[in-house]
């Protein structure tokens, strides 16, 4: 449907489902320079009752900087337009000196590290001092250096902060050293560079733009190059991009004919390339090259990117166009990010409050001290504990007295130093130790161990553990992350007959079909389950009508592709395996299927193919081929058969194939095939329709003339080629259809369902075609048949704006009418995102995406993936997680709050850039729902407990100051003050933070909804903080005033009552911790009760040393019954309110976690009773 204005219509798709199509037509020139022979990926049909709303544009537009351009994309690049001088660079082939005189190009040295020797110290300290507490302790350490304020030793005051900073700096330095080592290894690799007409080895970091390099099979390309020649006479090179995008399938790249001959004839290589300046668009390339005064166009099929590997090609020669940090893959690397835990960021808010609270306490002490000094100003000269005047010298002098104002000021600063542990620096050390312990258990969790790759979970960043328990959005790559990138042929519909019957792995009971060639047995590397009836019919040949249809169907599968057969050895020297390598896994599956039914592709060159058809080797000339693109959604090949006939075979998506099939010839077959396609798609299979027609010599000559004219055009080449293809692909006779299963990784559908039940939104961001992404969406259960799909494919800002407005209106109506947002799915392509991201349309996209349960972004460039992540991060406080396996996922992984790399057989870039790494997507479930929940719950509790633990101690010191003339003297021994945060109370906190479990693994996996506790911040929030503050105030009052009142007007000394306060506070905080422990084990028992015992021993030892104050105090005090009464009374009175409130809340307003915990206890009780009954029966 084409019109000059926006219009809509309702049409019936091939599966019988209604699709609402809003078509915005704007006439814009379109083009794309590409001569590569592309593969094709099918689209799956929509299952019954699926509603789909598309917002598309019938014409495409030129590309903005950084936009996504993919193989076969319907949105063409600007090859038909001249590149302006300001947006281009000139590269003189084989003349790097002249080239680099004209432009300021980067060296080929790369850097992925964060620091240098000069920047490490300032940058690392700057990052560490983002922690507010560190700034506070730095101020305290500086104050303690002043003689008037030296409460503690100068060195002792600096040591704690220095140790914390040093440990973190060493950890960061080690991580960055590993990056430097990786960079050094990469930069010092060598490649062959043309120097004085001979190729010499040169280090990668020394390669310059304009140089000609030669690389051999299985070598990695060191920079972005334009191909000049290859070992193939036609200039074809097969490239593996596994390090770039995680895909192991081979891609085809081409050298221009004008340069092939010069290299092969050993002529001097020269010429001038005018190309676009370095940009992030890994799917596009725009350039022209002048050779022998002839100008040729260059496109994405002529450039090979850094990190790709040459395969199945002996050698290739190319000229360097982009180097180092200007290469496309490095421009898409946003660099190592400094990440901090969300919980730690929120903790800064409470740290600031505690700072104000501390200032308040110090102000009270200082103010009261000033009042006291003024009231007793006449007594200060000779007062025993003050001594304003110094009479030790001949002349009377002031003794450590600076006037009332300065005395108040110094008292304030001294109070800050004395009460400094209100802000717990020990908390940061405890957090690091707890994270190490948690990481140990995550790494050694057998539920996240992959046997096939012998890979365990990797914890690469130790400061993000608790964030795993608060994730709201998961952004996932598709290829290699959700899928294994392996397709399996399942069903075939041929001439209206559905072959989905009994399957067998064998062909004539011989273990699969094989061909005999020159005394060798050739077998396909991958076996395919085949339909017994179809095998029998395929063997009958093409003498019968059904035999002809089957023959042509499998001939189309074997021939209409760009698959390259590669022969490999086996243990038997007579038997060889054929491995079918190609750009598209769909094509691989189809060719393996054809081989399984007796149509084995055994040879391919640029001009012909050889197929073994049931033992008969036949050669077919490849007279022409038209690549797949997302507008036609078809691929076609023209074959010259051995009987001198010419046939056109076409395969493609059903939505476009039925438009070019002549339904009048085979209406019954078309109807039956449509029904079969609907059946295939309803079970999540990817579908393709295959058609063919004969071609007369006159038609062929017309096609060849048009094709040659189109390929030689400098401007509008892709548009002309598309027109030639459309004219060729008409009047087809339907052969049949295929159903292919895209092999998901094990457990992906179940994992996505668990994540969805945990209220985690899963978005898929992929560079693949829209049809492929949708198909995977269904097979992974991300998309369901009840969902309404909102599809946005546009090529201008205005059309994107209209589409978003229409989609928003539709979503609002759906929600207002009672339809759940869980039934909306947004599908948007990278071209649309070019005009939406970083514009005023971002807010509309965010609003629309927020209303949808699922978002699929197709054909997106790496930086667009990062842009989508930032779309959420900038507008919500929700925590994001990105997971991927390829270099194109690095930016997304680094921008997300939590980045996870898949450590499978793909490249290592994603893993190196990640915070965590694992082998399978399904491991996300135990990682988030189990370890994430535990880590968040433990860390949240530990932070609040540390605030409480230190504040109780500080407040006891504060209350004491109010009764000692505000002099900041303390009854608690200095050694006990030091040991309080080291021995008395530190170890139980760390042990509980590592080992305690509020719920068992089985409950967390059985009820994914429990994960919501982290998303709702139930373990650490403002309400809990203020409750902790109130509880702390109460406990400190009880701990201080009970002994004070009990020993009021007695002759007990300060050291004795100080020991009582020390023991009371230590007993109190440890029993407080014990009340909250859920899962007891011997280590937790040992840490809590051991700390109490250790405190008693330490107090006894300290009081047994004669030179220390308070000698023998504890022995005198413990002999009095009043001491034990106070100790027990403090514990009971302090903890009763907490116990009562906990009991009432758990009884009347229990949380989901508490309910699940009670259910666990009930299950354990029932299980133990059943075991007891069984044991009793045995005894009988």
CA atoms within 13 A on the CB side of 810: 24
CA atoms within 13 A on the CB side of 273: 34
Query: Residue 400 — pLDDT band, cuts 50, 70, 90?
Result: low
Report strand pairing: 761-765 vs 224-230. unpaired
Please state, in angstroms and rounded to a whole number, the distance separating the CA atoms of residues 357 and 351. 10
Phi and psi torsions of 774, nearest 5°: -65, -40
Q: What angle do CA 457, 463, 465 make, to 5 degrees?
A: 50
Q: Which of 883, 762, 896, 919 is nearest to 445 (CA)?
A: 919
CB 326 within 8 A of CB 306: no
Query: Residue 26 — pLDDT band, cuts 50, 70, 90?
Result: very low
**Predicted confidence (pLDDT) at residue 98 exceeds the cutoff of 50:** yes
Q: Which of 1047, 1052, 1031, 838 is nearest to 945 (CA)?
A: 1031
- The pLDDT of 707-714, averaged and rounded, is 78
CB 239 within 8 A of CB 583: no
Judged by average pLDDT, the poorest of 26-30, 232-236, 530-534, 871-875 is 26-30
Judged by average pLDDT, the poorest of 33-47, 446-460, 603-617, 1154-1168 is 33-47
Tokens of 351: 């740290």
3 state SS of 252: strand
Name the residue with tokens 């605030």.
947
CB 992 within 8 A of CB 1073: yes
CB 619 within 8 A of CB 610: yes
Q: Report percent pLDDT > 90 for the chain.
A: 31
Query: Residue 528 — pLDDT band, cuts 50, 70, 90?
Result: confident
Q: Which of 28, 78, 72 is nearest to 725 (CA)?
A: 72
- The pLDDT of 373-382, averaged and rounded, is 75
Contacts (Cβ under 8 Å, ≥6 apart) of 733: 661, 662, 665, 666, 691, 692, 693
Q: Which residue pairs from 1157-1166 have beta carbons closer than 8 angstroms and sit at least 24 positions apart in sequence? A: 1157/998, 1157/999, 1157/1078, 1159/1003, 1160/999, 1160/1000, 1160/1003
Query: Residue 53 — pLDDT band, cuts 50, 70, 90?
Result: low
3 state SS of 224: strand
Alpha carbon distances (Å) from 299 to 227, 282, 726: 11, 12, 22
What's the chain's Rg over C-alpha atoms? 37
The secondary structure of 501-561 as a DSSP string is S-EES-STTSSS--EEETTEEEEESS---EEHHHHHHHTT-SSSHHHHHHHHHHHHHHHSS
For 816-903, strand residue ranges (E) read 824-829, 854-858, 879-884, 898-902
Give the pLDDT score at 71: 33
Handedness of CA 61, 66, 72, 78 (dihedral sign): positive
Which of the two residues, 381 and 180, has the higher pLDDT score? 180
Q: What is the DSSP secondary structure assignment for residue 854, as one 8-state letter?
A: E
Q: Which of 420, 413, 407, 341 is nearest to 376 (CA)?
A: 407
Give the pLDDT score at 860: 85
Q: Report percent pLDDT > 70 for the chain.
A: 84
Q: Which of 725, 512, 539 is nearest to 616 (CA)?
A: 539
Give the pLDDT score at 846: 92
Give the pLDDT score at 1070: 94
Query: Residue 59 — pLDDT band, cuts 50, 70, 90?
Result: very low
- The pLDDT of 800-825, averaged and rounded, is 80
CA atoms within 13 A on the CB side of 701: 3
Please state, in angstroms and rounded to a whole number, the distance separating the CA atoms of residues 353 and 937. 22
**Looking at the annotation, which residues are catalytic?**
477
**Predicted confidence (pLDDT) at residue 1180 exceeds the cutoff of 50:** no
Mean residue pLDDT of the chain comes to: 81
For 460-501, strand residue ranges (E) read 471-476, 483-494, 497-499
Query: Residue 1135 — pLDDT band, cuts 50, 70, 90?
Result: very high
Cα torsion 847, 852, 854, 858 to 10°: value is -50
Query: Residue 1091 — pLDDT band, cuts 50, 70, 90?
Result: very high
Give the pLDDT score at 812: 83
Give the pLDDT score at 399: 59
Give the pLDDT score at 552: 93
Please state, in angstroms and rounded to a whole number, the distance separating the CA atoms of residues 1004 and 925. 10
Task: Tell me the whole-structure pTM to 2 decimals.
Answer: 0.71
Range among 27-41, 282-296, 792-806 with highest mean pLDDT value: 792-806
Name the residue with tokens 């920079």.
223
Residues in the chain: 1180
Which pLDDT tens digit goes with each residue over 619-646?
999 999 887 876 788 999 999 999 889 9
Query: Residue 393 — pLDDT band, cuts 50, 70, 90?
Result: low
**Predicted confidence (pLDDT) at residue 1173 exceeds the cutoff of 60:** no
Give the pLDDT score at 1168: 61
CB 114 within 8 A of CB 179: yes
Q: What is the DSSP secondary structure assignment for residue 277, as one 8-state letter?
A: P
The secondary structure of 834-845 as a DSSP string is HHHTTSTTHHHH
């Amino acid at each position: 449907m084409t019109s000059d204005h926006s219009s809509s219509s309702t049409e019936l798709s091939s599966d019988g489902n209604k699709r609402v199509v809003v078509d915005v037509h704007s006439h814009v020139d379109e083009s794309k320079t590409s001569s590569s022979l592309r593969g094709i990926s099918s689209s799956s049909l929509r299952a019954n009752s699926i509603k789909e709303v598309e917002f598309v544009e019938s014409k495409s537009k030129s590309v903005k900087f950084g936009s996504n351009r993919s193989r076969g994309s319907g949105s063409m690049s600007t090859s038909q337009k001249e590149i302006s001088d300001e947006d281009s660079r000139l590269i003189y082939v084989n003349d790097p000196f002249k080239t680099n005189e004209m432009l300021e190009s980067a060296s080929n040295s790369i850097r992925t590290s964060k620091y240098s020797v000069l920047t490490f110290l300032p940058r690392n300290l700057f990052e560490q001092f983002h922690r507010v507490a560190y700034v506070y302790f730095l101020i305290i350490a500086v104050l303690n250096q002043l003689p008037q304020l030296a409460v503690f030793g100068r060195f002792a005051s600096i040591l704690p902060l220095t140790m914390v900073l040093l440990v973190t700096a060493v950890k960061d330095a080690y991580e960055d050293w590993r990056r430097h080592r990786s960079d050094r290894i990469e930069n010092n690799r060598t490649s062959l560079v043309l120097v004085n007409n001979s190729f010499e080895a040169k280090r990668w970091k020394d390669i310059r733009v304009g140089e000609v390099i030669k690389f051999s099979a299985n070598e990695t390309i060191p920079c972005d190059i334009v191909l000049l020649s290859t070992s193939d006479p036609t200039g074809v090179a097969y490239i593996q991009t596994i390090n770039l995008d995680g895909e192991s399938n081979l891609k085809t790249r081409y050298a221009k004919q004008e340069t092939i001959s010069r290299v092969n004839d050993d002529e001097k290589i020269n010429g001038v390339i005018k190309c676009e300046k370095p940009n992030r668009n890994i799917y596009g390339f725009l350039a022209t090259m002048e050779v022998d005064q002839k100008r040729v166009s260059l496109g994405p099929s002529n450039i090979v990117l850094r990190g790709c590997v040459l395969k199945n090609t002996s050698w290739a020669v190319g000229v360097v166009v982009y180097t180092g940090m200007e290469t496309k893959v490095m421009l898409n690397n946003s660099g190592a990010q400094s990440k901090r835990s969300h919980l730690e960021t929120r903790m800064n808010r409470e740290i600031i409050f505690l700072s104000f609270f501390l200032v308040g306490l110090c102000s009270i002490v200082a103010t009261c001290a000033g009042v006291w000094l003024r009231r007793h100003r006449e007594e200060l000269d000779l007062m025993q504990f003050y001594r304003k005047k110094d009479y030790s010298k001949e002349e009377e002098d002031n003794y450590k007295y600076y006037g009332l104002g300065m005395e108040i000021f110094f008292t304030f600063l001294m109070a800050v130093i004395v009460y400094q542990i209100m802000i717990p620096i020990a908390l940061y050390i405890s957090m690091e130790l707890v994270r190490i312990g948690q990481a140990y258990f995550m790494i050694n969790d057998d539920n996240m161990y992959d046997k096939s790759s012998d890979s365990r979970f990797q914890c690469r960043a130790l400061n993000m553990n608790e964030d795993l328990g608060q994730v709201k959005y998961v952004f996932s790559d598709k290829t290699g992350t959700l899928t294994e990138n392996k397709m399996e042929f399942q069903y075939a519909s041929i001439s209206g007959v559905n072959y989905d019957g009994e399957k067998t792995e064998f062909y004539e009971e011989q273990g699969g079909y094989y061909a005999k060639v020159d005394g060798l047995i050739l077998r396909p590397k991958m076996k395919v389950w085949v339909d017994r009836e179809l095998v029998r019919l395929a063997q009958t040949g093409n003498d019968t009508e059904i035999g002809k249809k089957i023959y042509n169907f499998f001939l189309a599968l074997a021939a209409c592709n760009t698959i390259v057969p590669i022969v490999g050895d086996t243990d038997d020297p007579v038997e060889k395996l054929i491995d079918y390598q190609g750009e598209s896994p769909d094509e691989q599956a189809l060719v393996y299927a054809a081989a399984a039914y007796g149509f084995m592709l055994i040879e391919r060159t640029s001009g012909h193919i050889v197929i073994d058809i049931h033992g008969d080797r036949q050669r077919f000339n490849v007279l022409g081929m038209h690549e797949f693109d997302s507008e036609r959604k078809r691929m076609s090949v023209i074959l010259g058969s051995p009987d001198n006939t010419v046939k056109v075979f076409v395969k493609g998506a059903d939505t476009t194939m039925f438009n070019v099939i002549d339904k009048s010839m085979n209406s019954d077959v078309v109807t039956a095939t449509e029904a079969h396609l609907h059946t295939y798609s309803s079970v999540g299979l990817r579908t393709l329709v295959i058609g063919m027609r004969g071609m007369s010599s006159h038609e062929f000559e017309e096609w060849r003339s048009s094709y040659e004219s189109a390929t030689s055009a400098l401007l509008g080449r892709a548009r002309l080629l598309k027109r030639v293809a459309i004219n060729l692909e008409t009047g087809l006779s339907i052969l049949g259809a295929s159903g292919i299963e895209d092999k998901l990784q094990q457990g992906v559908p179940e994992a996505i369902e668990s994540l969805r039940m945990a209220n985690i939104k899963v978005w898929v961001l992929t560079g693949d075609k829209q049809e492929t992404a949708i198909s995977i969406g269904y097979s992974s259960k991300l998309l369901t048949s009840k969902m309404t799909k909102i599809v946005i494919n546009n090529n201008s800002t205005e059309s994107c704006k209209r589409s978003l407005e229409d989609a928003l209106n539709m979503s609002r109506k759906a929600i207002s009418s009672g339809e759940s947002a869980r039934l909306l799915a947004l599908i948007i392509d990278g071209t649309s995102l070019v005009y939406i991201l970083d514009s005023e349309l971002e807010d509309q996209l965010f609003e629309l995406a927020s209303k949808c349960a699922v978002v699929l972004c197709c054909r997106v460039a790496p930086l667009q993936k990062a842009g989508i992540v930032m779309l959420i991060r900038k507008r919500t406080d929700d925590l994001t997680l990105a997971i991927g396996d390829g270099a194109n996922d690095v930016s997304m992984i680094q921008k997300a709050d939590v980045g996870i790399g898949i450590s499978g057989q793909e490249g290592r870039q994603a893993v190196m850039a990640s915070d965590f790494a694992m082998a399978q997507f399904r491991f996300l479930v135990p990682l988030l729902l189990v370890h994430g929940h535990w880590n968040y719950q433990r860390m949240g509790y530990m932070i609040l407990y540390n605030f409480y633990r230190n504040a109780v101690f500080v407040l006891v010191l504060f209350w004491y100051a109010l009764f000692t003339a505000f002099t900041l003297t303390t009854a608690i021994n200095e050694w006990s003050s030091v040991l309080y945060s080291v021995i008395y109370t530190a170890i139980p906190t760390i042990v509980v933070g590592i080992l305690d479990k509020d719920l068992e693994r089985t409950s967390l996996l059985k009820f994914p909804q429990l994960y919501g506790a982290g998303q709702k911040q139930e373990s650490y929030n403002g309400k809990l903080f203020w409750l902790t503050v109130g509880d702390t105030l109460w406990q400190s009052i009880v701990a201080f005033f009970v002994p004070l009142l009990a020993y009021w007007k007695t002759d007990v000394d300060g050291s004795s009552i100080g020991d009582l306060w020390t023991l009371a506070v230590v007993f109190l905080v440890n029993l407080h911790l014990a009340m909250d422990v859920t899962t007891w084990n011997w280590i937790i028992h040992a840490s809590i009760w051991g700390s109490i015992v250790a405190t008693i021993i330490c107090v006894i030892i300290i009081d047994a040393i004669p030179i220390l104050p308070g000698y023998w105090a504890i022995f005198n005090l413990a002999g009095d019954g009043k001491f034990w009464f106070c100790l027990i009374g403090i514990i009971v009175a302090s903890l009763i309110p907490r116990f009562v409130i906990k009991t009432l809340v758990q009884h009347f307003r229990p949380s989901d976690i508490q309910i699940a915990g009670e259910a666990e206890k009930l299950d354990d009780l029932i299980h133990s009773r059943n075991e007891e009954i069984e044991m009793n029966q045995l005894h009988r």
